Amino acid sequence: MREAITDLWELHSRGVVVAVTTNGLVVPSGVANLGRGTALQASKHYPWLAARLGASLATHGNHVANLGERIVSFPVEHSPLEPADLRLVTRSARELSALADAEGWTEVALGRPGCGGGGLVWADVRKAIAPLLDDRFLVVTLSEPGFG
């Protein structure tokens, strides 16, 4: 696992797969709740994201999912009303690694999972996920996004 301070969305514009931290809430209309962090950023750029993630959550549950266009969900919370769950983050890291293997991805970027609005401490998260994510994975400290 590598780390950098960079713009996640600049990486995406250069062809890097981006894992968007998410929660498991689907609202009554069937779309996912993308209320903060990288999920909110992604939803502003990709209006289809909430519907695709909502369908995936309804079908497969709160698991890592390839949502298309080099965007992957990375669950960190069961609900936006609860803090991030380190066990869920760890499971998501395992699932993301397996998906990258299956898809043949050579570079995947994600923000520090669960460490923004989720309330986890990066040192704890890093210790849990570093053994699971090889050098294909770049964990970024977010700078300002390249779109708005």
Compute the Cα dihedral for 116, 121, 122, 125 and give only its sign.
Answer: negative
Position 132 scores a pLDDT of: 98
Q: pLDDT at position 148, please?
A: 35
Question: What pLDDT, on a 0 to 100 scale, did the predictor assign at position 145?
Answer: 46
pLDDT at 79: 92
pLDDT for the residue numbered 116 = 86
Structural domain spans, the chain? 2-142
Global pTM reads 0.93
Print the SS3 string covering the chain. Answer: CEEEEECHHHHHHCCCEEEEEEECCECCCCCECCCCHHHHHHHHHCCCHHHHHHHHHHHHCCCCEEEECCEEEEEEECCCCCCCCHHHHHHHHHHHHHHHHHHCCCCEEEECCCCCCCCCCHHHHHHHHCCCCCCCEEEEEECCCCCC
Q: Do residues 44 and 147 make contact, with C-beta atoms less than 8 angstroms apart?
A: yes
Residues 2-142: name the CATH superfamily.
Answer: Leucine Aminopeptidase, subunit E, domain 1 (3.40.220.10)
What pLDDT is stored for residue 143 in this prediction?
A: 56
Q: Six-digit token pair at 140?
A: 């970024």
Instruction: Quote the pLDDT of residue 147.
Output: 39
CA distance readout (Å), 46 to 88, 108, 144: 25, 18, 17
Give every residue of the chain whose pLDDT is below 70, as ranges: 142-148
Among the listed residues 123, 133, 122, 147, the one whose alpha carbon sits nearest the alpha carbon of residue 19 = 133
